[in-house]
Structure 1
């Protein structure tokens, strides 16, 4: 894939997520694509990837993810971003806390034939749990 082709897929991915369009989001992935995420775990397949992402937006429906311009190297891309929102839906058996959160995250993506074949989400899951009140921060 060319850099421009990768950018087109990334633009479609960003738009699908911003519009909470999980069908359009799922279409960007290969049928056997893999997602690795602190929240969703490691899942394979379009539906599982869409469901893992849907769960995030169900718990945090007002979440806004602001992305920096991607770093692209051949068929791989890295996106540094920030997520901001409020915990208003249940997630992983945790009842809504109504608390706000803000955390940095990184997406590492691999492409093949104009489709995403792997997406790895890296963020401070423990920090998120502290912010929404599930865990207590240890005093310094």
Structure 2
């Protein structure tokens, strides 16, 4: 749910932040990274930090290789100043290696949170919080509850 009382600058930040799930992942358009991310941007996630566009691109490519049909739906957005928070649902089929896990052919639907901070009109930092446990469970890598 987007707040209708956003300033024009906050609306623009929301629009730009949504391009990650909707255009980069939704359309596989990795060239947008250069347009959206500052050259020295940092992407924080469960596997550490990717610093700079090249490292961020490699991380995104790995996910898109594993789930080439991925779609991401932005379920909710909160904007506060220079930060945009998004609740996202990802769906796709595991068709490529991911984290050393060979393709399973299984379909997934997982929820994620992303917090995107802007500086000078570009993404300076992004914190990505995926539900990796649910992902691994859906790929049948882990049981729940554990046996």
Which residue of structure 2 lines up, in the alignment, with residue 54 of structure 1? 61
Pairs aligned (count): 139
Q: Contact 1:71/1:78 (CA < 8 Å) preserved in 2?
A: yes
Select 2:29's aligned residue among 14, 21, 25: 21
1:87 maps to 94
Give the match for residue 114 of structure 1.
Answer: 121
Distance 2:106 2:25 in 1: 22
Q: Which residue of 1 aligns with 2:45?
A: 37
Maintained 8 Å contact 1:30/1:46: yes
Match of 2:105 in 1: 98
SS in 1 for 2:31: helix
Residues 1:75 and 2:70 are matched in the alignment: no
Paired residues of 2:43 and 2:127 also in contact (CA < 8 A): yes
Query: TM-score w.r.t. structure 1 length?
Result: 0.89
4+ aligned runs moved over 3 Å, structure 1: none
More displaced 10-residue stretch of structure 1: 85-94 or 16-25: 16-25
Could you give the per-residue CA deviations for residues 51-79 of structure 1, whole angstroms, max 9, x where no partner exists?
11111110011111100242110100001
Unmatched segments (≥5 aa) in structure 2: 1-7
TM-score when normalising by structure 2: 0.85
Change in 2 beyond 3 A, CA 1:44/1:139: closer
Contact 1:105 1:121 in 2 (8 A): yes
Kindly indicate whether the alpha-carbon contact (under 8 Å) linking 1:27 and 1:46 is maintained by their aligned counterparts in 2.
no
| Secondary structure, counterpart of 2:145 in structure 1 | coil
